[in-house]
Each structure stands twice: as C-alpha cells, then as structure tokens.
Chains A and B, each alone.
Chain A
C-alpha cells in the first residue's frame, strides 16, 4: 500500500532560522512526488513536482530534493509569511487516466518574527 509520512508534525522557527521538513514514502513505482503549501482555511497551493531521485527544485526560500525513499523541503532564512502547513504527496498508479495522489498528514510550520 502506498504511504506517505511527514515529520515533524509541527515546527516552530525564528525568522532567519533555516531548517528542513521530511517526507518519507513507500510507493510501487514512483511517478511523481508533489509538495503543496496550505494556509489555514484554504485549499493547497502547488509548489513543486519531483520525478526522479537526485532531482532538485527551488523557489524563493524553498528547495525540494528527492531520494529513492524520501524528500526534503529545505527552508532557508524563512520569513513569517512562510508560515503554513506543507503537504507532501506521491502519485499512486493511475486510475482510468485520473491522478491519484496519496498525501501525508502535513507539517505545520510557524515562523516567529
């Protein structure tokens, strides 16, 4: 069964304090790994897609990396506006051409000024 586990559940950082969020996964043949950002009461907002081990993608203060078993979301010199829940998801086998994303529980990140 495809599974995604994110750690830690919650993380508090001071502004400017860099850190990493972890996403461990088990899937029968990885087709893609996705990172989303979700603000309270809002729908998830797409950040990155990673397709193969060794791949990296960056956007502003965020960098996502991928290995064969896990992905990391590195946050460099975060600001209070980076506070959100970060969700990781893997693409499970397609179902009739539809995407089936299996999500982790998320990491709730708080950046204190």
Chain B
C-alpha cells in the first residue's frame, strides 16, 4: 500500500532564516506531487506541483521554491522566511491520470515564523 511521509510536524523559525520541508511517498512510482498551504480560516492553496523528477511548476508567486530530486521525494524550501510564510503546509500525491483522481495528503507541517 502507498504511504506518504512528511516532516517535521511542527517548526518554529525566526524571520530571515532558511526553510526545508521534506516529503516522501512509498509504494508507488512516478506519482504527481503537490505542496499546499492552509492559512488559518482559509482553504487549501496549491503552491507547487510536479509531474516528474526535476519538473516543478508554481501556481502563485511567493518566497518559496520546490524541488524534486528523486521520483518520490518533494522538498519545499525558502532562503529567507517571512512572517507571511506561517501556515500549515501539506504535501500530497496522486496517480498520473487524464481523469479526476483524488489526492492523498501527508500529515502536514505547522510552520510558525516569528
């Protein structure tokens, strides 16, 4: 069966510090991978998606970047965090498909930038 791992669960970082969040998927090959952010009281916002190694697409301009160094590994990064980067970050995966397929989410990382 497929599983998705996301860490750390909680992170408190000062403004201006770097960020690295990691996500790995097991039990499937060539998944589509996603990073979402959930701000308090708001819906999930798609930040990045990837359909293959090294292929990253950004949905919104921001202070963050993403990388996919391996087939089942997805990393969210920042060189210098801003207060507005605080939020709940979720990694997700789906099977590649031309139809509507559900997303499977990780357990999330609560990021507080102080």
Contact = CB atoms under 8 A, between A and B. Distances in A.
A43 B57 CA distance: 22
Q: Choose among B42, B44, B59 the residue with the greatest number of A CB atoms under 10 Å from its CB.
A: B44
B34 A43 contact: no
Interface stretch (B11-19, B65-73, B76-84, B93-101): B93-101
Interface string A92-107: 0011111111011110
Interface residues of B, number: 32
Interface stretch (A12-20, A44-52, A59-67, A71-79): A44-52
B112 interface: no
Contacts, number: 75
Contacts of B103: 34, 46, 99, 101
A21 interface: no
Contacts of B74: none
A51 B100 contact: yes
Interface band, chain A? 20 to 34
A1 B46 CA distance: 15
Interface of B: 6, 32, 34, 41-46, 49-51, 55, 57, 59, 90, 92, 94, 96-108, 110
